[in-house]
Amino acid sequence: MKGTALRIIPCLDLDRGRVVKGTRFRDLVDSGDPGELAARYEAGGADEIAILDITATVEGCRTSLEAIRRVRALLSIPLAVGGGIRTAEDAARLLDAGADRVSLNSAALAEPGLIDRLAARYGSQCIVLAIDALARSPGAGGWEVMAEAGRKATGREASAWAREAAGRGAGEILLTSMDRDGTGEGYDLGLLRSLVPCGLPVIASGGARKPRHFLEAAEAGARALLAAGIFHRGEVAIADIKEALRAAGQEVRIC
């Protein structure tokens, strides 16, 4: 994937149709309307929008199709959607509502064959595997994959799960460090580097606050860079991130 322009992806975490943001998946605060934020980010130079319904899996409900349709009507850039996808029919509803790609997490962990079926039906380019990873104890080493919005340990090692997903037909990995999420400490570069060899492009997520954090992740091998809170709070402009990346020699898409 070298030579492919880096993508900057604002993420909208949804809770009952509203955008929320917290720290390490906890202490959520309301951050606004998904349609208004998505339109603002496209105007500001975003390359893609990600929407993740963070309560869908936990509460046993499906992603809000109304919110997806509303956001899609306002956007011309790609839209990736995840949360509560358990079957091919769930994925079909999201794609019909306007998603360009769907993101799988807990359901794929419970039934890995779902990746195969969706890739065969829609193509690998439509299938993103979301991995929420938590650092293991120093003695154990590595990172464990967590399910159900970070509430359930799976025993799976993150890089091994990424390699399996690649073999099953996933097209990209959305990698979130639960240790860094919402902290502003920067992406977990060790975690990122451990997954880059899986053979799929990796979207780095969790912990970015400054333009240099985006550059560090790009240099570590990420092909897309996702953030949420810093954009919602207006701390950093997408154009400034792209300018910093371009000045460092990284290829970015023109705003």
Catalytic residues: 13, 132
Residue 236, φ and ψ in degrees, nearest 5: -140, 140
Q: Look at residues 47, 174, 21 and name the one whose alpha carbon lies nearest to residue 108.
A: 174
Using the CB atoms, write b or e for 218-251: b if 16+ within 10 Å. bebbbbbbbbbbbbbeeebebeebbebbeeeebe
Residue linked to tokens 């339109």: 39
Cα Rg of the chain, angstroms: 16
Burial (CB count <10 Å: 0-12, 13-18, 19+), residue 207: buried
Start-end of H helices in 88-188 = 88-97, 106-110, 113-122, 158-168
DSSP state of 251: -
